[in-house]
Amino acid sequence: MPLPPAQKSLLVSLSGPSSSGKTTLARLLRDLLPNTFILHEDDFYKPESLLPFRSGHRDWDCPEAIDLPALTNALTYIKSTGKFPPFIDSKEDQNTLGACPASPSHINLAKAIIASSSLHSLLKHAKICILDGFLLYSQAEEFKPILELIDVKLFLLASEEKAVARRKARDGYVTLEGFWKDPEGYVEEVVWPNYVEQHGYLFVDGDVKRGRLDRKVLEREGILAMGGGHGDGHGDEEGFGEVLVWAVGEVVNRLEGVLGGEGGRGENEGE
């Protein structure tokens, strides 16, 4: 089943809490998958002076911090042209990442999954865009136009303890105005509470701390997630490697289904 003539790209979204490994995974997927590039949600922040306050801090981690119409416009451009928007000047690519946490054996397994698929032939006339963002699956009305454009939705997990520790270990972030480093208490008072508020609906009884995903909700929303726990493997070769192999398998399976009418596995199979 070929893409509609007006669609030149397939959109794969990759979301989850801050410091769950999204950008690391996005860059690996870009390097492994054919005809693939990344769009970062972080490149759509509003100017710092327009951000609201939470707990005495400028809040970079809420829906109001993102220029959602501009993000929607960029995604629409990508789907219709198959090209990275020339009007986007990426700041996110200036932020540093640590060493690749996936082992060579997991990377080779991911390569084998792709090599045995039909993606290379199916993507002769289309591109894959990976949308990397901390806040993509919000139930706020403003996110609906974005979600309607996405072909495959992946969700990563991390416990509060791991996410806070990883975030605090970061140097900071390049912004429109220069450079931002989290002030004391920002992660605990702003980042994690925002994540819980926006994603609680994905967990059983809204209990993000316990970490049990609500499979019925995921199926309803078309969101794919690995396992049922917090997935704290990021930063450890074995755990992150398993996440990489899972993500490659899901992307290959779903995109073959979209492009070739194949794919056959049910939502969240094997979990």
> Which residues are the active-site residues?
42
- β-sheet bridge partners, residue 53: 58
Q: Cβ atoms within 10 A of the Cβ of 59, count?
A: 19
Nearest to 172 by CA among 8, 24, 32, 60: 60
Separation of alpha carbons 101 and 237, rounded Å = 5
**Count, residues in the chain:** 271
φ, ψ at 201 (rounded to 5°): -65, -15
Strand order of the β-sheet with 127-133 is: 36-40, 127-133, 9-15, 152-155, 223-225
Strands 36-40 and 127-133 come out as parallel
